[in-house]
Amino acid sequence: MGASSSGLLDEAKINHIKGLVESEFQSFSGFYRQQYSVTYLGHIHQEVEPKKEERGFLLTHRPKNDGDEVLYQGCIKFSCWDELGKKCRERYAVLKKDYKVEIHDSAETFRRGSAPKLVLQPAGGVVFTSEEESRAHLEKTCSGILNGVKEDSSSSAPSSPDVFAVYLHLPYTGHTCFLFQQEDERDHFLSGLKACIRHRNLDPWHGSSHENQAYARAIRLYQQEKGCYESWEKLLGTEEQVLARQVMEDVLSWLQNQLLSKVKGKKTERIRQWQATVQVTYTLVLEQLTASLEALREECRQTASASQALIRSNLDQIMSSHDFLEQKVRACICEEAEKVCSESVVPYISSILEALTEHIGPGILGMQDTLRTQMNSAFSLTNGQVEDIKKALTSLRSVSLDENYRMVENLSNKLENVKERFGLSSVEKLIHFANLEMEQLLDSAVYTLEQFFQSSTKLQPSQLLDKMERAKERVFKQLEYDSRVVQRQLYQEALLEITLPSVISRMDQKCKSELQQFEQYIFSDYSSFILIHNICDDILRNILHKEILT
């Protein structure tokens, strides 16, 4: 998408950028190597002594889809950020359940199976439906390079009052404009696009393998070294994308100082030059980090594999050593940590919880009501006929929850004071997380009902209709139960992740200065698997979790 190169980046600047990326990656890789060994130990321990971590759901989750199911397809008018002032082109947009945005030349080329002309990866994307909001967001991201330059007559996209627009802004890769003749068509596309953003943001973290855990710990420590204690909200997209966005903050700070006097022209031209430069820079950074991360993972896998025999033969001793150190560290920090929690977190838990329940609770209840209404309507005309019931069940897979999603999206404004107090840059991940859970609940309810139907297809119509009515009521009872489980766990995790960075930042100096004395208790052969810092973090998390539960 956009420019393939930028004249503002000469060889010397490119080499300097590569050096900055390598320096940042070396800093991150040290944390990753440490954390990989620790999480690999946890992986082996879980394998040897399994601990159930199931959430106790009653509904059956649908197996993972193959990604070919279409969320949206249709003719659009389309333009990229580097085509300002040009006429939008007729294109064919396709959104599938692989959650990418495909742009085809036409419906015909799509049906023939031709490769898309353009594929957008929407992780981290921000969506607007008005040109004014899109322009304001664009100027905010380019504010450092604009340096007070006045407005000119150009607009961000060639829209007009009789069309309906969607503007998709992606991190460091510019923005695109989609135009529609009908509002309902725009809304259909927008619904699918938001689903793509949610899934691309969060799906890479679903399941949490020991490698995911190592990465999440490492990125948090990497940021803490820079004085930033927030990490949960930044884990959007793949590991490569997350790290690239962090590194780009430092790279762009340097690049802006280098190019401030070289970016010329009116506001729109400056934005175009800067976006072209940023896109090329991001491509360089992402490519370099992707290769480096893969090499680092492979190195860590080999190191872990070589240590497997040591871990398995000494697992009891390693875990005993860990437990002994945990008692020592807890005795050292517990009193002060509890004081920090009681003074800086506990007074605000009730107000945060109130905001969460005010928006997430009604959203989930609305989802249940929407499904019940749609289900009753779909089944009212089936008369117990197998094919009609099949069609009714299929229609339930595409029930729109947009109104319920919007209830949750309003949470951002409600938490403004909380964001300021606890240093949160955003609650976007929390919103995506809540909406994704809502989507999963509905899909599991529909899938569970489908399973009841599959086991009953040979019944007579009257018997089938009666059984499906009873199955519906059973599914709704299960849905209500699962919804309560989801809400409880979502509220607990949100409270923990919102407040934990504040606790860690207040305890960080004590942990660094006083806990080194405990290193002497770690047998040298086990030093890769037991980290005092991790033990301290886990204790702080558990103390805070208890406060949240009380």
Residue-level pLDDT at 527:
93
SS (H, E, C) 439-473: HHHHHHHHHHHHHHHHCCCCCCHHHHHHHHHHHHH
Beta-carbon count within 10 A of 320 CB: 11
pLDDT by residue (tens digit) across 120-144? 999 999 999 999 999 999 988 888 8
Q: Is 379 exposed, middle or buried (0-12, 13-18, 19+ CB in 10 A)?
A: buried
Read off the pLDDT of each residue in 63-78 and give the average, rounded to a whole number.
89
Q: How confident is the model at residue 263 (pLDDT cuts 50, 70, 90)?
A: confident
Segment 192-209 shows an average pLDDT of 93
Percent of the chain with pLDDT strictly greater than 90: 72
Overall average pLDDT of the 383-402 stretch: 90
Residues 302-330 have pLDDT tens digits of: 999 999 999 999 999 999 999 999 999 99
pLDDT > 70 in the chain, percent = 95
Task: Give the model's pLDDT for residue 422.
Answer: 87
Asked if 430 and 233 count as a contact pair (C-beta separation under 8 A), the reply is: yes
For residue 159, the model assigns a pLDDT of 53
322-358 pLDDT, tens digit each: 999 999 999 999 999 999 999 999 999 999 999 999 9
For the segment 420-469, what is each residue's pLDDT rounded down to a tens digit?
888 888 889 999 999 999 999 999 999 999 999 988 888 888 888 888 88
Tell me the per-residue pLDDT of 138-190, one tens digit each, with 9 for 90 and over: 988 888 887 766 665 444 444 555 689 999 999 999 899 999 999 999 999 99
Report pLDDT for 4.
Answer: 40
pLDDT confidence band for 233 (50 / 70 / 90): confident
Whole-number pLDDT of residue 440: 96
The helix/strand/coil state of 206 is coil
Measured CA angle at 414 (ends 411, 419), to 5 deg: 95
Summarize pLDDT for 521-544 with one digit per residue, the tens.
999 999 999 999 999 999 999 999
- What's residue 536's pLDDT? 94
* Least confident stretch, 12-16, 195-199, 230-234, 385-389: 230-234
pLDDT higher than threshold 60 for residue 301: yes
Q: Which of 197, 224, 172 is nearest to 533 (CA)?
A: 224
- pLDDT surpassing 60 at residue 397: yes
Which pLDDT score, from 0 to 100, does residue 1 have? Answer: 42
Beta strand extents in 97-199 (DSSP E only): 101-104, 118-120, 126-128, 164-169, 175-180
Residue with tokens 């003749």: 181
Maximum CA pair distance of the chain?
A: 80
Please choose, from the candidates 135, 143, 78, the residue with its C-alpha nearest in 3D space to the C-alpha of residue 104. 78
Residue 404 has a pLDDT of 96
Higher pLDDT, 266 or 472: 472
In our burial notation (b when 16+ CB lie closer than 10 A, e otherwise), range 212-238 reads: bbbbbbbbbbbbbeeebbbbbbbbbbb
Q: Which of 187-196, 413-422, 491-500 has the lowest mean pLDDT?
A: 413-422
Residue 247 has pLDDT above 90, yes or no: yes
